[in-house]
């Protein structure tokens, strides 16, 4: 039997696709919340920003649950090692997501500017933290982490080395770009114009950060595992991701926000492809020695489990995609300011 069965590898790729879908969809959610203080001139603008993502943000988070559930079912050992080794980082993300979810519900429940301001900041911080942590975590996986017999042992501080921090900043700026582009499509008037103007320098910054991160990871190297794909593949995907950000920046500068949004989203999807291509054939690659890495074959569930998962996914995924697509179609209208409101600094 081949060391990496077809279904093992297929589910490794599918989990990468689920994460890419999550970060593509939730990326503009996070981005809108992060840039809202920058593009809003008053309370009405801030409310419009939150209303732009209000109907879809919770549906987008379902992709996170799906990615986590698929990892648990297809690679239970990977799931166990991630949640034991990265426990504090994932706990921070969980707290941030809880605070973010509550802020959507509570912000409009009370009266007074202090109440709204408190929950606006909760929404901002609840989006800022995961936007940074997810980027840092995936850069850690691409770079490799110190392992002993497949167990991560360096604690939270071991995840915060310089390349991971740059990766976290990169994901934050990429999500901010996506959020600005989403606002340019979802809103109208001065708010949309401010989002378009701010998207150009944000795109330039994202290009520099993503290009620098790709070059740094490639230069850092990592102990090679038997079956590792050529380093040219993740490098090519990384360069393609940076090129998509350049295309998004040029498109929005020419008033083509739709194409810019698609290009920015593709940069996130391709970036995840580069991370998973560099990880292969490990689900948890080691930075200290190749033998310590946790491989796909060692972490995978039994063949029958993967067969059942494949059948279930093939049957139900089209319905999930159709329902989410229908949701976006229903809430496709642009949001505008009520005629009686007036901007104030």
Q: Which residues of 200-221 are buried (b: 16+ CB within 10 A; e: fewer)?
A: bebbbbbbebbbbbbeebbeee
Cα–Cα dist 78/89, whole Å: 16
Per DSSP, helices labelled H in 221-300 are 232-253, 257-279, 296-299
The pTM (predicted TM-score) of the whole model is: 0.90
The residue extents of the domains of the chain are 6-330
What does the longest C-alpha to C-alpha distance in the chain come to?
Answer: 71
Which pLDDT belongs to residue 223? 66
Q: Is 284 exposed, middle or buried (0-12, 13-18, 19+ CB in 10 A)?
A: buried
Q: Is 321 exposed, middle or buried (0-12, 13-18, 19+ CB in 10 A)?
A: exposed
Q: What is the mean pLDDT of each run of 10 residues along the chain (345 residues)?
A: 69 93 92 91 87 86 89 91 85 92 83 83 92 92 82 76 91 95 91 92 95 89 69 89 95 92 94 92 83 85 89 89 87 80 46
Q: Which residue has the tokens 């560099």?
A: 278
User: With the C-alpha atoms ordered 336, 176, 14, 232, is the resulting torsion angle positive or negative?
Assistant: positive
């Amino acid at each position: 039997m081949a060391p990496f069965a077809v279904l093992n590898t297929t589910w490794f790729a599918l989990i990468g696709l689920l994460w890419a879908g999550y970060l593509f969809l939730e990326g503009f959610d996070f981005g809108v919340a992060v840039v809202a203080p920058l593009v809003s001139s008053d309370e009405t603008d801030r409310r419009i920003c939150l209303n732009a993502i209000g109907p879809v943000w919770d549906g987008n988070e379902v992709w996170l649950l799906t990615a986590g559930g698929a990892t648990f079912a297809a690679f239970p050992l990977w799931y166990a090692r991630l949640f034991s080794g990265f426990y504090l980082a994932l706990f921070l993300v969980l707290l941030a997501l809880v605070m973010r979810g509550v802020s959507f519900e509570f912000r409009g429940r009370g009266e007074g500017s202090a109440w709204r301001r408190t929950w606006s900041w909760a929404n901002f911080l609840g989006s800022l933290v995961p936007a940074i942590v997810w980027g840092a975590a995936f850069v850690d996986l691409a770079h490799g982490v110190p392992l002993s017999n497949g167990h991560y042992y360096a604690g939270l501080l071991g995840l915060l080395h310089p390349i991971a921090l740059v990766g976290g900043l990169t994901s934050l700026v990429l999500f901010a770009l996506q959020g600005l582009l989403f606002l340019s499509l979802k809103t109208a008037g001065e708010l949309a114009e401010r989002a378009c103007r701010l998207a150009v320098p944000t795109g330039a910054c994202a290009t520099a950060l993503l290009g620098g991160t790709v070059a740094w990871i490639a230069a850092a190297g990592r102990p090679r595992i038997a079956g590792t794909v050529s380093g040219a593949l993740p490098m090519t995907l990384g360069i393609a991701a940076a090129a998509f950000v350049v295309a998004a920046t040029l498109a929005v500068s020419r008033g083509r926000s739709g194409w810019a949004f698609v290009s920015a989203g593709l940069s996130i999807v391709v970036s995840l492809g580069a991370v998973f291509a560099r990880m292969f054939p490990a689900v948890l690659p080691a930075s200290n020695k190749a033998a310590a890495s946790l491989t796909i074959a060692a972490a995978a569930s039994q063949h029958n489990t993967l067969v059942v998962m494949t059948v279930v996914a093939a049957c139900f995924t089209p319905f999930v995609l159709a329902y989410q697509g229908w949701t976006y179609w229903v809430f496709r209208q642009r949001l505008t300011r009520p005629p009686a409101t007036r901007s104030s600094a």
